[in-house]
Amino acid sequence: MSNKSSRALRERSDQELAAALRSAREALYRLRTDQAMRRLEDPSGIRHRRKEVARILTLQRERELARNP
């Protein structure tokens, strides 16, 4: 996810971030399942999804701390 995509995440609402997190986690699960079954064609996809999940969780935590200092 590029810097441009990180900015796009920041523009999303809390509900949209929660939905994006759910979607990213589901995609990560599917990738890991494919890897276990040796059907995964792009192993770097796991790394990208894992980082996307981390970015979303970081944004959620930043917002939580901003609301409750």
Tell me what pLDDT residue 69 has: 78
- pTM for the model stands at 0.87
Tell me what pLDDT residue 5 has: 79
Domain with 44 in it: 3-67
pLDDT in 10s for each residue of the chain, 69 residues = 556 678 899 999 999 999 999 999 999 999 999 999 999 888 999 999 999 999 999 999 999 999 997
**Cβ neighbourhood burial of 43 (10 Å; 0-12, 13-18, 19+):** exposed
Tell me what pLDDT residue 6 has: 84
- Check which CATH number belongs to the domain holding 47 and give it: 1.10.287
Tell me what pLDDT residue 2 has: 57
Q: How many domains does the chain have?
A: 1
Q: What angle do CA 15, 27, 37 make, to 5 degrees?
A: 160
